[in-house]
Structure 1
């Protein structure tokens, strides 16, 4: 905690507001510790219960988290005002963002011609029938169970709406460990609890899912392919075992995220469909561009009806203009070639980095996707050493619940052989991790 900042307030609400303002203004940066409850209560002359209530409210909003004896600290990405991308030192290459390479995204020129001359009004708004039909064809080709189809403003929007219409504050959600950092933060912001499921090369382990269900998880989130950050892919055998286990818990809400979509080289082996309520989400961000805020969402009739109903009370619908752009991309042969080129380029970059690390005795994973996950003994030391050599990477703390330390390297901007060699040399020069790439 910054020395100049001391929480103030005479009530739980006052303390909560003061700490939120400090986080918003940067007085309490991500990861900053908060005073122990009893010490702050003594400093402010308040009852311990008053400070405890303030901390509890901040945890429920996802602003802070508590780690047992390590106390409470500000979350790495609290759900407060976004102040834009973090500034990097001059000359530092950003390998931390998880962003696709802009040079590998398709040209939108042809797709824009599919946009109607006049936008839809309130009466005609909603899922574009042509896009929905084409989405159903693509989903059926991947052997997804038949279900209703709608569109949301990206994958995380679909996941948030799905969780919101099925779960309540205080409920538990089983997530992969390590997992997508945004998902972990979203669950905290919803006032729900993330229950870790260990991940190996074939996805969430069966024992991990079984343990999470025993701990009362009411929902499960699984990544089909290109698991962020490990690159794991759910195999046919693993999918069958997970579905079998979930079928014995029919009230569990299952969400499956296939964000890598058309960039995937591995076939899809769906996990959804064995429970009463399920949601399968496929974003267009990675193949076609993050600014295309659209994801295809399919699921059981009740879930999709609830998601659409909730959308109409708020955002309303995904812009029909945007839907027609995506329709134009899906129907454009040149776009298909561009996606195929991107698929091969990302594969080559991942494999080149993995080969360089392996040659130096460093174990890492990244079978598919945009990221390579490297176990390290000390995340801070690894991140600092790479930054000093001109590369910004992501500390695994934003992804982990109980799994071992690691760093995530995004290959989106990793193009030179010199970069590969220097990164591999730097990691190998640290304490060489001897543990498995998955824990």
Structure 2
């Protein structure tokens, strides 16, 4: 039978014919046992030399796609039946990856459309304020270090210089006293939580977390097969008395509760540590943006109060430098250190050594501390601008929750305003708003908006919130 092939130009003729015949065999258009035209006939059909078609057939026969019988012709190999597509599964069978497909909208993803002009997205930083000239010198240093070294895999826990820099920084800023060997470098806080869950939880184990809480953390625990039990929070943070007695792990954000913003009181912190010690439970402390505190004295981290070895301290540079860096860290209780290192090694062996070397120099040479001081001043001005509007022209519709730290705050929508409708109306004015209802698991959601100010300047805050006030005033007139 004839085979339809297409030749483009006169270059690489054998390769063109080979790829098309092989593709026909692979996708089933040329069925197992099917006779192919002779090399002479195919050469005439395509206008190429017979040597070209002979070379192609010989290669396909050598690779097992075709077989030749002397005096009879060339056929598609019978073994190609193994490449036939499988029969469709019954409609009731669970699809591979279904658990991930069900997460649409739950995980923060890079937007595929142009972001709004006035974007109050949380968890991002302003890269325009980052000292890239200093960072460039640190990267150049890291390149020189890489050039001198031999190609090899490194310690899964990370580069010694960065682990030392992190240990020194945390001892000074968060009173977390640790040896550099205790620090494990990860791909952001997200990987740190994933590794902790992998070594501490088995399918069916109970993990308790704040409600409302951080959706990506909840997803990590759920996809690993854990039973996630939401625990309410109040003005003092996690309600320790509501923790399930059968929990194997507790996830908390005590310095700046996500998303509501209140710090966990010292009394609650001590109660949680006592409860965890009594029940033999691991506590994962996510200290994601505590570097920026604007009112009162800094609260002690759980790790700094932990005398029983129950707290794994998790941090990230995504909120202090920028998320693309993908560097975080975890300081686990000593007995879990080896297991975490092995889990990290199995997952990706180690994080990027060049980035680690550059960041270590950035910290040890004092650039990081200067950057934090500069950003603290800038974020304080942005927070002040945001609160001016929330307590001024937006006060009829929004009530800000008390929040003394971080780079976002939450405001509750007053009835009868609908969260999704406000977000939609604001988007029409190029104001990006983000609701909090989806962050509740079992508690009745309180309609609210999370205002991130890490990536939006003071002037843009004033303009964006002025537009939001007009949107809400117009909605109010329309429903009056």
TM-score range, shorter chain: 0.7 to 0.9
1:223-372 alignment runs, 5 A limit = 223-249=253-279, 251-265=280-294, 267-272=298-303, 273=306, 277-359=310-392, 360-361=395-396, 362-365=398-401, 366-372=403-409
Q: 1:95 to 1:9 in 2, by over 3 A?
A: farther
What's the TM-score, normalizing by structure 1? Answer: 0.74
Identify which of 99, 107, 111 aligns with 1:85.
111
Asked whether the equivalents of residues 290 and 406 of structure 2 are also in contact (C-alpha less than 8 Å), the reply is no
2:292–2:405 CA contact under 8 A, matched in 1: no
Per-residue deviation at 1:364? Answer: 1.4
In the alignment, which of 430, 440, 447 is matched to residue 400 of structure 1? 440
Aligned to 2:90: 10
Please show how residues 420-435 of structure 1 align to structure 2 within 5 Å: 420-424=465-469, 426-427=471-472
Give the 3-state SS of the residue equivalent to 2:141 in structure 1.
coil
Which consecutive unaligned segments of at least 5 residues does structure 2 have? 1-87
Alignment pair present for 1:413 and 2:456: yes
Alignment-derived partner of residue 233 in structure 2: 199
3-state DSSP class of the match of 1:372? Answer: strand
Write the mapping of 1:115-154 to structure 2, written as runs, cut at 5 A.
Answer: 115=142, 116-118=145-147, 119=149, 121-122=151-152, 124-126=154-156, 127-141=158-172, 142-144=174-176, 146=178, 148-154=182-188
Q: Who is 1:109 aligned against?
A: 136
Q: What pairs with 1:147-226 in structure 2 (closer than 5 Å)? A: 148-204=182-238, 208-214=239-245, 216-226=246-256
SS of structure 2 residue aligned to 1:221: strand
Deviation at 1:286, TM superposition (A): 1.2
Tell me, what secondary structure is at the counterpart of 2:106?
Answer: coil
Question: Any conservation in 1 of the 2:138–2:362 contact (CA below 8 Å)?
Answer: yes
Distance 1:135 1:98, change over 3 A: closer
Q: What CA deviation, in whole Å up to 9, does each residue of 1:300-356 have, x standing for no partner?
A: 122221111012123001122111111122123344222212112222212321231
Task: Name the CA distance, whole Å, in 2 between partners of 1:275 and 1:75.
Answer: 40
Contact 1:106 1:335 survives alignment (8 Å) = no
1:380 aligns with one of 420, 443, 448: 420
Distance change in 2, residues 1:307/1:92 (3 Å):
same
Q: Distance in 2 between matches of 1:245 and 1:145?
A: 22
What is the CA distance between 1:166 and its match in structure 2?
0.7
CA displacement 1:86-139 (0-9 Å, x = unmatched): 4247x5433235311222333212322431142564354442222222322233
Q: Secondary structure at the match of 2:249?
A: strand
Q: For 2:449 and 2:203, locate their aligned partners in 1 and report how far apart those are by CA, in whole Å.
A: 31
**Partner of 2:46 in structure 1?**
none
Q: How many residues align?
A: 365
Provide the residue aligned with 2:8 in structure 1. none
Q: Contact (CA 8 Å) 2:309, 2:334: kept in 1 or not?
A: no
After the TM superposition, which of the residue ranges 420-429 and 395-404 deviates more from structure 2? 420-429
Contact 1:219 1:255 in 2 (8 A): yes
Q: Distance in 1 between matches of 2:104 and 2:307?
A: 35
Structure 1 CA distance for aligned equivalents of residues 274 and 383 of structure 2: 33
Please tell me whether Structure 1 or Structure 2 has the larger radius of gyration of its CA atoms: 2
How far has the Cα of 1:415 moved from its partner?
2.6
The structural deviation recorded for 1:274 is 5.4
- State whether residues 63 and 189 of structure 1, in contact with CA within 8 Å, keep that contact through their aligned partners in structure 2: no
Aligned mates of 2:400, 2:213 — CA distance in 1: 16
Kept after mapping to 2: 8 A contact 1:357/1:424: no
CA change 1:230–1:105 in 2 (3 A) is farther
TM-score normalised over the length of structure 2: 0.68
Q: Matches of 2:275 and 2:365 in 1, distance apart?
A: 41
Per-residue CA deviations over 1:143-164 (Å, capped at 9, x if unaligned) read 3254622111110100010011
Contact residue 261 and residue 283 of structure 1 kept, 8 A: no
Residues 1:102 and 1:190: Cα distance change in structure 2 (over 3 Å): same
8 Å contact from structure 2 (residues 293, 404) kept in 1: no
The answer (yes or no) to whether the contact 1:226–1:233 under 8 Å persists in 2 is yes
* Residues in 2 aligned to 1:188 and 1:324: alpha-carbon distance in whole angstroms: 34
RMSD: 2.9
Mapped to 2, the partners of 1:390 and 1:165 lie a distance apart of 44
